[in-house]
Chains A and B, each alone.
Chain A
């Protein structure tokens, strides 16, 4: 239930809203753990841990399903209005974002086996920084959600630009490794996908920031989100410039 308001006349309604929120916070924690362990498994080539992360995704999916079912039930049976309505909608949307982040963590973990065959330790540094930054973003977003702080959510929202910048750097670095030796290509491709997954996780975190902003203010943020992913322009032939 929103912290700033009085309890509902019907106490069961408060309990149902609180339960939704508790499930979402739990989902935040599960996804945070998945991303963390996926990145550990990548840097240590820990296939067992990677398998464990893959298995954990089902829990996140289940929670998303329960949140969706309970939200529909609340919409149908309680007809929530005003901030209650926005509360339910925002939780449902945020849960879908977290579910997607779980999928990305799973996707990262799936690549650990191949990476272990062709280790490329010199590329791991940048990925580690990116992973830590995404985890930091997610943790701050979770805190903002619990404390219902839109300013903090907007800081996270704007902070995604730094994740984009790191991704841009990773893209160029991996391209360089590939140009150095074709033997690096398979590892680099997988590392690039991992970097891309982390970048996408960052984007989903900003969506949750927007969901919280909507939940509190009743509207979407009107400012433009700063973005720094310029990889669509990067080429291995710097002498040639892409059109458009």
Chain B
């Protein structure tokens, strides 16, 4: 099953009855990250308007919407990647386990270890496969000796579904791998520091369909232990991998609901227009 390209049925799906149709944010799963009244400005331009979106523990939440709608901006707020953007201002509340992510006492490096990120383009460090994965545990001082580090690297590569393909070539550069393998290496690197939440910004947009299917299978597997938020331009991908979907448009969160409802019976006209390809 590990090497199968087929996606497993989501036996972890919340039952339809656990969420009344149309009730955004209702449900029984605990909320891992919550956000309320989130406004983001790039200089004078407002990129997000009063966004409130709960991210449920051990669930995959997909963010969809046209380019420039604010979905990546929102994703970057979750681990304060926007801090590095000049002129970016964030207001409102974003919490991780009920603690304010933007609180004055928060160590951003620690926050990003808890809320990891995988980017659109695979970006392995110009180091060996081993060192790519070992990088995080090393700088966070998570292992005591070489054996523990070997174990951590192996575990992460196994979880990322890459171990069998690279176990005999750990010393080779990460950049020698194929695009899909590089992306799984980046996922292994992200999960090597034991994050609680993994953010993925269009993780498959540079990959072919088979590599994409492998990442989607991986997302399915990872959701058992991690909370995942994925930004994707592919609505089919959002439909395939996520439990909850939020549709963004012009900086607003137009609709948030169970994925099944968003794609079969969306309540908002704008969502309907977008998912059916009638966006005017």
CB < 8 Å A-B pair total:
43
Nearest B residue (CB) for A214: B265
Q: Is B235's CB under 8 angstroms from A8's CB?
A: no
Q: Which residues of B contact A226 (CB under 8 A)?
A: none
Take A79-B236, A82-B272 as given contacts and tell me if A8 and B278 are in contact as well, using a CB distance cutoff of 8 Å: yes
Q: Which residues of B contact A10 (CB under 8 A)?
A: 277
Q: Is A13's CB under 8 angstroms from B277's CB?
A: yes
Take A6-B273, A8-B276, A8-B278 as given contacts and tell me if A218 and B235 are in contact as well, using a CB distance cutoff of 8 Å: no
Q: Which residues of A contact B279 (CB under 8 A)?
A: 9
CA distance A170 to B280 in the complex (A): 56
A223 within 8 A of B: no
Minimal beta-carbon separation of A116 from chain B (angstroms) = 52
B246 within 8 A of A: no
Q: Is A5's CB under 8 angstroms from B273's CB?
A: yes
Q: Is A6's CB under 8 angstroms from B280's CB?
A: yes
Contact flags (1/0) for B82-101 with A, using CB distance below 8 Å? 00000000000000000000
Contact flags (1/0) for A207-242 with B, using CB distance below 8 Å? 000000000001100000000000000000000000
The count of residues in chain B whose C-beta lies closer than 8 Å to any C-beta of chain A is: 17
B264 within 8 A of A: yes
A81 within 8 A of B: yes
CA distance A7 to B236 in the complex (A): 21
A16 within 8 A of B: no
- Size band of the interface chain A makes with B: 10 to 19
Listed stretches A26-34, A83-91, A97-105; interface member: A83-91
Q: Is A81's CB under 8 angstroms from B265's CB?
A: no
B119 within 8 A of A: no
Minimal beta-carbon separation of B233 from chain A (angstroms) = 14
Nearest B residue (CB) for A5: B278
Contact of B265 among A5, A6, A218 (CB under 8 A): A218
Nearest A residue (CB) for B266: A82
Q: Is B236's CB under 8 angstroms from A6's CB?
A: no
Q: Is A7's CB under 8 angstroms from B278's CB?
A: yes
Contact of A80 among B265, B266, B276 (CB under 8 A): B276
Contact of B277 among A9, A86, A218, A219 (CB under 8 A): A9
Take A5-B272, A5-B273, A6-B273 as given contacts and tell me if A82 and B280 are in contact as well, using a CB distance cutoff of 8 Å: no
CA distance A239 to B81 in the complex (A): 85
Q: Which residues of A contact B263 (CB under 8 A)?
A: 81-82, 85
Minimal beta-carbon separation of B121 from chain A (angstroms) = 26
Contact of B276 among A82, A218, A219 (CB under 8 A): A82
Minimal beta-carbon separation of A111 from chain B (angstroms) = 43
Nearest A residue (CB) for B239: A81
Minimal beta-carbon separation of B273 from chain A (angstroms) = 6
Contact of A82 among B21, B236, B275 (CB under 8 A): B275
CA distance A81 to B275 in the complex (A): 6
Q: Which residues of A contact B271 (CB under 8 A)?
A: 82
Having A81-B235, A82-B272, A219-B265, one finds 11 other A-B pairs with CB under 8 Å, namely A6-B273, A8-B276, A9-B278, A81-B263, A81-B276, A82-B264, A82-B266, A82-B271, A83-B272, A86-B264, A86-B265
* Interface residues of A, Cβ cutoff 8 Å to B: 5-10, 13, 79-86, 218-219
Which 10 A-B pairs rank lowest in CB-CB distance, beginning with the nearest? A218-B265, A81-B275, A6-B278, A84-B276, A81-B263, A82-B272, A6-B280, A82-B275, A82-B276, A8-B277
**Can you list 6 contacts pairing A with B, beta carbon distance less than 8 Å?**
A7-B278, A8-B276, A8-B277, A81-B275, A83-B272, A218-B264
